[in-house]
């Protein structure tokens, strides 16, 4: 039996460039039969306020912390 993937909604906090904002983070959770689960992809959306383009730190409610960048109106989270 293979792995299962599930899209999970989490809470996040973006901070950087003198700004801080809450956000919604969609994560892909992969589970292996009889094994641990892991989050393999994160998408940022639904910020509590508009943020300027640039580099940020993303802290997610599952304990993950990673770099994030907003460029051209799009977000890229790097684990």
* Span 32-51, average pLDDT: 87
- % residues pLDDT > 90 (the chain): 70
Q: Which residue has the tokens 């300027």?
A: 52
Instruction: Find out whether 58 and 13 touch, Cβ atoms under 8 Å.
Output: yes
Q: pTM of the entire structure?
A: 0.86
What integer is the mean pLDDT of 15-25? 95
What is the per-residue pLDDT across 45-78, written as a single tens digit (0 to 9) for each? 888 788 999 999 999 999 999 999 999 888 988 7
pLDDT score for 7: 96
The pLDDT confidence band at residue 3, using thresholds 50, 70 and 90, is confident
What is the residue-wise DSSP string for 9-62? EEEEEEEETTEEEEEEEEEEEEE-TTS-EEEEEEEEE--SS---SEEEEEEETT
Which residue shows structure tokens 């943020």?
A: 51
């Amino acid at each position: 039996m293979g792995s299962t993937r599930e899209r999970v909604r989490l809470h996040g906090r973006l901070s950087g460039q003198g700004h801080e904002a809450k956000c919604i983070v969609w994560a892909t959770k992969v589970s292996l039969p009889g094994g641990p689960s892991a989050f393999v992809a994160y998408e940022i959306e639904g910020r509590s306020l508009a943020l300027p383009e640039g580099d940020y730190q993303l802290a997610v409610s599952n304990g993950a912390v990673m770099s994030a960048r907003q460029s051209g109106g799009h977000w890229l989270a790097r684990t």
